[in-house]
Amino acid sequence: MIWSFVKVALFVAAIAALTLGATWLSDSGEGIRVAVAGMEFTLGALQAAIAAVLLILAVWLFLRLLGFVVAVLKFLSGDETAISRYFDRNRERKGFEALAEGMMALASGEGKLAQTRAQRAERLLHRPELTNLISAQAAEMQGDRKRAIEIYKRLLSDDRTRFAGVRGLMHQKLAEGDTEIALRLAEKAFEMKPRHEEVQDILLRLQTESGNWAGARTTLGAGVRQGRLPRDVHKRRDALLALQEAKEVFAEGNSIEAREAAIAANKASPDLIPAAVMAAQGYIARGEPKGAQRVLRKAWEVQPHPDLAAAFAGMVPEESPLERLARFETLLKANPGAEETALTRTELLIAAEDFPGARRVMGDLAERHPTARTLTLMAAIARGEGADEAEVRGWLTRAVSASRGPQWICDKCQTVAADWSPVCGTCGGFDTLSWREAPDTPPLPHGAEMLPLIVGRPAPVQEEEETPPPPRGPVDVTPPEPDPEPQPASPAGPEEADPFAEPPSVAAARGYKT
């Protein structure tokens, strides 16, 4: 309503300005003298202005007529569309202007305006391969997914716009959460344009989420061939996918093929801990303990890990603690300065009941890096040396609220995972789990109050009360009944267990279970 009023006011103002200008020219009295072919014409100011306008109009008409004549000549020379193009030129110009305005509206986030301009461009141009793209994106911007899907389906009928239609439908299915159809669309888009980076990323994510490890390896290979991934990163990620593929093969019962795949994955990425563990198990199953030892030692050099120690212990499960301690020297010497090496050696010494040696190995580690594991080991050492129970309780009290130590943590969402996986179960990130300590590990809630549940609560001491002597009465001469047979003691429940029983970590240190 306001805009209509403004347009009327501007029109009235323009008419008034023209009227005032014409009046001024009429009253000015000055004129223009024109001499043509011996004839002389004298024009007033207003007449001269009108003549100038008519001259410009005549030139424009002449140019238009000249263009039409050129189109007729082209038609006569064999160009059948010359005359139609001449008349369509103005309409195309307006159509492309509307198309450009629609693109600018999309860039500025005006979905409704973009939709309007796209419809106008379609009426003028009749080029659906151009206007449908803008219409679909404008419908997406307005939240009209049904219309967007309908327009993207139209694009599938044209070879020039088929990829854009498949990609648009893929994004729509991802927004709806239909990953199964989105995966098929991503595979189709990858077939059409295997070098498209966005399609590669989406396809790889969907394949890893659905467990299609073989397909994911193919997609990953396409990325490295284009130079998108460094060679070392590709080797590691390909090893991750090969390892997960081997795990599924092993779950299906084909242990031989799984062992070979795990060994191949370990060769591709020797520092990958799960691959090293599975490859070592494969070598042991093949009767090649030296190969298993070599794999575990090489992985220990890069990053010591409890799973590597457990796999190394599982090579000879029936050995004594002293024999295990001696055999582990080969592994521990591979990285003697690592914290995990000191902790593993301490656990082996505790299992061998060499508590002074375990204390020497620990040194001041419990003070420099107090974690639940280091503090629990100090409690086990103190208990083994016969220290006062208050000292043992002090170590365990600190362990309850200490950091959990290194864990499998997602670098993307910071979620702690119980076991390693190539894909984060929370955010779906690929190759985001790393063995590290959380920067800010929250202590257990009410950690000090939970201590009795871990080490037991001492039973309260009950004071004996003096009982008065029984009153004197007649002497009972009845022979006493025989004492009942002793009943077997019932097993102690969880609440009657030894409050100072050996902690689980110490029991685990006496031998790794595989």
Class of domain 159-228: mainly alpha
Distance CA 83, CA 72 (A): 6
pLDDT in tens, 406-424: 999 998 888 888 888 888 8
Residue among 278, 260, 267, 229 at smallest CA distance from 420: 278
Distance CA 351, CA 132 (A): 74
pLDDT for position 66? 81
12: CB partners within 8 A, 6+ apart: none
- Asked whether this chain's domains 159-228 and 230-315 adopt the same fold, the reply is yes
The per-residue pLDDT of the chain, averaged, comes to 78
DSSP annotation string for 114-138: HHHHHHHHHHHH--HHHHHHHHHHH
**Which of 17-26, 62-71, 227-236, 321-330 reaches the highest mean pLDDT?**
321-330
pLDDT bucket at 509, cuts 50 / 70 / 90: very low
pLDDT bucket at 367, cuts 50 / 70 / 90: very high
pLDDT in tens, 86-105: 666 777 788 888 888 888 88
Q: Where are the domains of the chain?
A: 159-228, 230-315
Cβ(259)–Cβ(282) below 8 Å? yes
Q: Which two tokens stand for residue 419?
A: 């076991």
Backbone angles phi, psi at 479, to 5 degrees: -60, 140
Q: Is the pLDDT of residue 258 over 90?
A: no
Distance CA 189, CA 466 (A): 92
Distance CA 489, CA 460 (A): 22
pLDDT bucket at 76, cuts 50 / 70 / 90: confident
pLDDT for position 1? 59
Name the CATH architecture for the domain at 230-315. Alpha Horseshoe (1.25)
Q: List the single range of 29-38, 161-170, 173-182, 287-296 with lowest mean pLDDT.
A: 29-38
Query: Chain centroid to CA 363: how far?
Result: 41
Residue 346: count other Cβ atoms within 10 Å of its Cβ: 27
Is this structure's pTM higher than 0.85? no
